[in-house]
């Protein structure tokens, strides 16, 4: 109330009610923009939830036009909410004050209202006068996060409903426009949720266009704003030429030709991903010049210089701060191995498990006399040099929180296949022994070396066929993913791996136990020992062999998790749909409004990944076994395994044999492993998303012909498939888009992937992988047998051999620092069931109410997940030393929490 008094004057708040009473009983035109009576109560309720101030017109500005009079002029007041930066650099502060000075002499912010109606005299949209933001100079020094400015428009009583606002920024500096609110009568505000950077006219001369929150399908767009809808989309698409400036908001497609840096040397060159030779999804085009030594490779932008993404896709300030702090943390952590490396070697190993434990308990004392030269090469040295104790500590990963030795147990190794950070590769074993789909002419004999005698004694007296028939055998199979790359990987310095298969048995308790691991190498000769089966131990020697075999399985798993399930299936394959949505769907389109929160930050984090994580010699190559072949493995998976129609949770579970259709069940399918935490929790969220999407879609498309005739919608899907995923555009499995069921399925899948699927695969990375022995991302030694020279070393000190097979200190601490950052929720995270400005994101009150219903269902699901984690009958999520499964629990505090489902792929 105090804020409202300050903005519009206290007298108005007390007099507004008298305005309408003065005209009761008289015959007048209905005042402009008055909400029908049937909707007023709903709108009034929604207004209570609006946190931002709303504008109002004062009593003396209201003019109500009798039937027999000509239109008259009157003023409308608007509140424009601009979000300030919390921290400004010196240049920004100087320019800000310069703008405050020049604002007084006409270098200001100019707005103009555009009506939804056409002026019959001019055959053009009705427009208000141009209005400027008042008091900019007076409010320059306000330290508030949000500052509200007033603008007044002069309208005529036949102006109609405002549908758009144009803005010209004559200042030198951009500003972040959050909302504009216009209020004609107390019950009838008009909201413009902008949430966009408005650039200076000197950088972008064209006026910025913002539409009201009222959704329109293309064919229903009012005549007054129809042309603006087309202009805005044309501007966003750009012309596909030139290098993009950081201030641009142009969305376009390109191939992944910027991962390598051939100008640094041939060892830094990487193949182009995308095209007939190596199919891959498209990424955002930057238009940078080609490298000097390879015209097909785009020149690199190295840290700390920023990568281009459209301006509104860049991290907001609090998110950027969190990410930068994480990066700082990684820099500090990397000092530890760097210092050790300066004394010993780059391949320094952990001497014992106590060395790893000390990273969490004691930290590492910085050798101040040795760090000076290193600090010159690293950013932010002052933070290190001023460290009071010189100690750098990692937080204790959650895997150690309930049982320090859980990682050694077979049941925990198996439990993580269904409730860990990568629970999406386990399949029901349908045929024994398992078979390969690789070409034997290329890869030689592919028969599995697994035999019945390897598992017979471990399946409770059953025959293998009985166990198959009763759905008791399961497999995590990485044979076909890795085998084509094994020779090249094992030729790299310090990299050794197998193509693994792991067989699990479902016990009567509903838990899994591993019963055999197959380790395969390419068959180089008829007598080659290319395949090996390791079974659970019976003595000390076989115990260490078994532990090494499990470590190799985890290394395979970590690679497929990061390169395929996490990066490819949630980051890379979603970007084309996001690019096409901005290019083809107007901000007024109801489907754009639905998808908007699920696209937040994805393009920015993907660009940062191209710069630092998946790039040549980047973090992923440094820390994961496949090294320089990491992204080629990702591309092979895209070509051979990825199918959009199988990315939805029910379809994926059925494909993997983990569920079968059953109409009698709540989700239309029956889990063959009832206590499968990822699947059982995921189905709750999938159903909630699907119901919400169904409500939304059927509201706007009451019959199929409307979907087929929606040019923007059809263009979005066509471009997503034929351009964004153009290398696979001819595949027959792409869903059609002809009716509501098609659209509901496509949208549900996209929202599932961007929210719950990504959360399940991402936010457990440090809690599970932060203790490297539990989940080594890289292996450096194969398992010796009796004929190998290393076998004697292994027998004499198996613990030392085991640790030498894991990542080095340098590799391990670098990996830990990175996954710590990736597992962190920022303070501005927006979780499933939440969205910015929840009551005004759309002007459709019925859909706002439906969204609140969806939010309530998400809260109910969270309580159900909490209940399940306390149910002692569910052994895979409850028990002594067993971690609760919370990766699909929707809400979270900031930080590394091992829970929380953000709306989008935002980290």
- As a whole number of angstroms, the distance between CA 903 and CA 599 comes to 8
Chain-centroid distance, C-alpha 893? 17
End-to-end Cα distance, the chain:
38
Range 73-213 has CATH code 2.60.60.20: yes
Comparing CA positions, the residue from 836, 901, 831, 890 lying closest to residue 863 is 890
- As a whole number of angstroms, the distance between CA 868 and CA 678 comes to 12
The pLDDT, as a whole number, for residue 157 is: 87
Concatenate the DSSP letters of all residues of 629-662 into one string: GHHHHHHHHHHHT--GGG-SHHHHHHHTTSEEE-
Q: Which residues contact 205 (CB under 8 A, 6 or more apart)?
A: none
Q: Which residues contact 401 (CB under 8 A, 6 or more apart)?
A: 883
Concatenate the DSSP letters of all residues of 327-394 into one string: HHHHHHHHHHHHHHHHHS-TTPPPSSHHHHHHHHHT-EE--HHHHHHHHHHSS-HHHHHT-SS-EE-P
The CATH code that applies to domain 425-561+781-794 is 3.10.450.60
Decide: helix, strand or coil at residue 588. Answer: coil
- As a whole number of angstroms, the distance between CA 833 and CA 691 comes to 13
- As a whole number of angstroms, the distance between CA 171 and CA 493 comes to 56
| Helix pair 845-868, 677-700: axis angle to 10 deg | 170
The pLDDT, as a whole number, for residue 49 is: 40
Q: Which residues contact 554 (CB under 8 A, 6 or more apart)?
A: 413, 774, 775, 776
Three-class secondary structure assignment of 501-513: EEEEEECCCCCEE
Long-range contacts of 876-880 (CB under 8 A, 24+ apart): 876/415, 876/418, 876/419, 876/510, 876/511, 876/675, 876/676, 876/677, 877/419, 877/675, 877/677, 880/402, 880/403
Comparing CA positions, the residue from 607, 568, 571 lying closest to residue 286 is 607
- Across-strand partners of 364? 392
Comparing CA positions, the residue from 412, 394, 396, 359 lying closest to residue 774 is 412
Torsion of the alpha carbons at 66, 71, 72 and 78, rounded to the nearest 10 = 100
Longest dimension (CA), the chain: 106
Q: How many CB atoms lie within 10 A of CB 184?
A: 22
Start-end of CATH 3.10.450.60 domains in the chain: 425-561+781-794
Chain-centroid distance, C-alpha 344? 39
Separation in Å, CA 722 to CA 100, 124, 256? 48, 36, 17
Chain-centroid distance, C-alpha 544? 39
Q: Per the structure block, which two tokens stand in for 890?
A: 């929707």
Q: Which residues contact 130 (CB under 8 A, 6 or more apart)?
A: 110, 111, 112
The pLDDT, as a whole number, for residue 162 is: 94
- Which residue positions in the chain have pLDDT lower than 70? 1-69, 184-187, 325-347, 362-392, 524-529
Separation in Å, CA 454 to CA 433, 451, 772? 11, 6, 29
Cis bond before residue 30 (omega within 30° of 0)? no
Classify residue 838 by its DSSP letter: T
Start-end of CATH 2.60.60.20 domains in the chain: 73-213
Separation in Å, CA 220 to CA 215, 681, 744, 747? 9, 40, 21, 22
The pLDDT tens digits for 448-471 are: 999 999 999 999 999 999 999 999
Q: Nearest-5° angle of CA 542, CA 548, CA 554?
A: 135
C-beta of residue 819 within 8 angstroms of C-beta of residue 762: no
Torsion of the alpha carbons at 610, 500, 655 and 762, rounded to the nearest 10 = -40
Phi, psi of 183 (to 5 degrees): -130, 120
Strands 659-661 and 669-671: antiparallel
The pLDDT, as a whole number, for residue 52 is: 40
Strands 253-254 and 283-284: antiparallel
Q: Which residues contact 892 (CB under 8 A, 6 or more apart)?
A: 763, 825, 829, 831, 899, 900
C-beta of residue 616 within 8 angstroms of C-beta of residue 260: yes
Comparing CA positions, the residue from 608, 623, 681, 609 lying closest to residue 899 is 681
- As a whole number of angstroms, the distance between CA 627 and CA 636 comes to 15
Q: pTM for the complete prediction?
A: 0.90
Q: Which residues are catalytic?
A: 566, 571, 758, 762, 907
Comparing CA positions, the residue from 161, 183, 152 lying closest to residue 13 is 183
């Amino acid at each position: 109330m105090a804020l409202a008094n300050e903005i519009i004057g206290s007298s108005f708040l007390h007099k507004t009610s008298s305005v309408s009473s003065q005209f009761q009983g008289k015959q007048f035109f209905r005042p402009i923009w008055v909400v029908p009576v049937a909707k007023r109560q709903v709108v009034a309720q929604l207004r209570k939830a609006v946190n931002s101030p709303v504008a109002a017109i004062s009593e003396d500005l209201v003019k109500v036009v009798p039937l027999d009079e000509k239109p008259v002029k009157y003023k409308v007041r608007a509140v424009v909410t601009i979000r300030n930066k919390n921290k400004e650099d010196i240049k920004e502060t100087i320019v800000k004050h310069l703008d405050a000075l020049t604002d007084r002499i006409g270098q200001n912010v100019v707005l103009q209202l555009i009506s939804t109606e056409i002026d019959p005299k001019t055959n053009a949209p009705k427009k208000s006068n141009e209005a400027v933001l008042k008091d900019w100079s007076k409010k320059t020094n306000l330290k508030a996060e949000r500052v509200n400015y007033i603008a007044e428009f002069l309208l005529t009583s036949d102006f109609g409903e405002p549908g758009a606002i144009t803005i010209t920024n004559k200042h030198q500096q951009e500003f972040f426009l959050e909302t504009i609110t216009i209020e004609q009568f107390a019950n009838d505000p008009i909201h413009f949720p902008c949430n966009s950077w408005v650039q200076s006219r000197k950088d972008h001369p064209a006026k910025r266009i913002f539409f009201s929150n009222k959704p329109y399908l293309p064919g229903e767009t009012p005549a007054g704003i129809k042309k603006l809808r087309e202009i805005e989309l044309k501007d966003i698409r750009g012309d596909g030429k030139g290098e993009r400036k950081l201030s641009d908001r142009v969305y376009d497609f390109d191939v992944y030709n910027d991962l390598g840096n051939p100008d640094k040397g041939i060892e830094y060159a990487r193949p182009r991903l995308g095209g007939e030779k190596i199919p891959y999804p498209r990424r955002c085009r930057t238009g940078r010049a080609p490298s000097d030594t390879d015209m097909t490779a785009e020149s690199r932008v190295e840290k700390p210089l920023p990568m281009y993404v459209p301006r509104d896709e860049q991290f907001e300030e609090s998110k950027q701060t969190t990410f930068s702090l994480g990066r700082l943390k990684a820099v500090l952590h990397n000092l530890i191995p760097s210092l050790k490396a300066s004394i010993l070697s780059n391949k320094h190993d952990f001497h014992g498990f106590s060395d790893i434990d000390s990273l969490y308990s004691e930290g590492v004392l910085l050798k101040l006399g040795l760090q000076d030269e290193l600090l010159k090469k690293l950013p932010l040295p002052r933070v290190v040099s001023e460290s009071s104790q010189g100690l750098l500590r990692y937080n204790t990963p959650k895997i150690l929180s309930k049982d320090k030795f859980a990682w050694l147990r077979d049941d925990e190794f198996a439990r993580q296949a269904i409730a860990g950070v990568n629970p999406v590769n386990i399949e029901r074993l349908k045929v024994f022994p398992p078979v390969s789909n690789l070409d034997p002419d290329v890869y030689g004999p592919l028969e599995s070396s697994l035999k019945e005698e390897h598992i017979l004694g471990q399946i409770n007296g059953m025959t293998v066929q009985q166990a198959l028939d009763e759905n008791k055998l399961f497999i995590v199979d990485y044979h076909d993913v890795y085998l084509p790359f094994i020779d090249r990987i094992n030729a790299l310095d310090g990299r050794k791996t197998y193509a693994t298969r792991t067989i699990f048995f479902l016990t009567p308790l509903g838990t899994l136990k591993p019963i055999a691991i197959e380790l395969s190498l390419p068959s180089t000769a008829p007598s080659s020992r290319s395949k090996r089966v390791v079974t659970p131990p019976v003595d000390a020697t076989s115990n260490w062999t078994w532990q090494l075999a499990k470590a190799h399985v985890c290394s395979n798993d970590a690679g497929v998790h990061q390169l395929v399930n996490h990066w490819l299936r949630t980051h890379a394959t979603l970007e084309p749909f996001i690019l096409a949505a901005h290019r083809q769907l107007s901000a007024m389109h109801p489907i754009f409004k639905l998808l908007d929160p699920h696209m937040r930050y994805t393009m920015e984090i993907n660009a940062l990944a191209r710069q630092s994580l998946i790039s040549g010699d980047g973090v992923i190559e440094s820390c994961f076994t496949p090294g320089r072949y990491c992204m080629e493995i990702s591309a092979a998976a895209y070509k051979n395994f990825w199918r959009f129609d199988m990315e939805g949770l029910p379809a994926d579970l059925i494909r993997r044999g983990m569920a079968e259709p059953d109409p009698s069940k709540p989700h239309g399918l029956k889990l063959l492993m009832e206590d499968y935490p990822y699947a059982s929790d995921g189905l709750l969220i999938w159903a909630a998303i699907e119901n919400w999407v169904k409500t939304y879609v059927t509201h706007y498309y009451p019959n199929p012909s409307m979907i087929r005739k929606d040019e923007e919608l059809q263009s979005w899907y066509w471009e997503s498939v034929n351009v964004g995923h153009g290398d696979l555009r001819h595949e027959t499995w792409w869903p059609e888009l002809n009716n509501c069921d098609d659209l509901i399925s496509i949208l549900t899948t996209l929202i599932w992937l961007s929210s719950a699927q990504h959360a399940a695969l991402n936010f457990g990375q440090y809690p599970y992988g932060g203790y490297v022995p539990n989940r080594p991302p890289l292996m450096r030694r194969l398992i010796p047998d009796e004929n190998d020279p290393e076998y004697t070393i292994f027998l004499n000190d198996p613990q030392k051999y085991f640790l030498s097979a894991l990542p080095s200190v340098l590799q391990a601490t670098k990996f830990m620092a990175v996954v710590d950052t990736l597992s962190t929720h920022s303070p501005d995270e927006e979780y499933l069931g939440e969205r910015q400005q929840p009551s005004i994101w759309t002007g459709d009150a019925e859909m706002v109410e439906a969204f609140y219903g969806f939010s309530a269902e998400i809260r109910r699901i969270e309580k159900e997940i909490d209940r399940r984690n306390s149910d002692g009958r569910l052994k895979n999520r409850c028990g002594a030393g067993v971690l609760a499964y919370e990766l699909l629990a929707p809400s979270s505090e900031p930080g590394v929490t091992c829970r929380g489902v953000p709306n989008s792929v935002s980290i």
